[in-house]
Structure 1
Amino acid sequence: MRTKEYFALNADVERIRPALMVVVFETVYAVNVAMKRRISFVLSAPYPSRRRC
């Protein structure tokens, strides 16, 4: 876990108190913050996947 980023985001979330978070799927610490605080979140993939369907 990226502790520095986790605590920085956690402090921002405490201050802002969002109802919804949009989280880049690679930032596991952001998902952890959202889940810990019971904030609804959606995962975003900001670039195309290399996988073919």
Structure 2
Amino acid sequence: MIRWIIIFLVIALIAAVLGFGGIAGASAGIAKIIFYIFLVILVVSLLMRILRK
């Protein structure tokens, strides 16, 4: 999942350098969504680990 975040972040940065357009907005949006999903999964994993001990 981190790999996808990095890929979309790089695409968004390249598109930003070339000018904010549809590609930059879409890539940044996808990167944000994947980032927040990753954070939720991380928190749930940490909570599960703490509760098991």
TM-score by length of 2: 0.35
| Structure with larger Rg | 2
TM-score, with normalisation over the residues of structure 1? 0.35
More helix by share: 2
Between structures 1 and 2, the one with greater strand share: 1
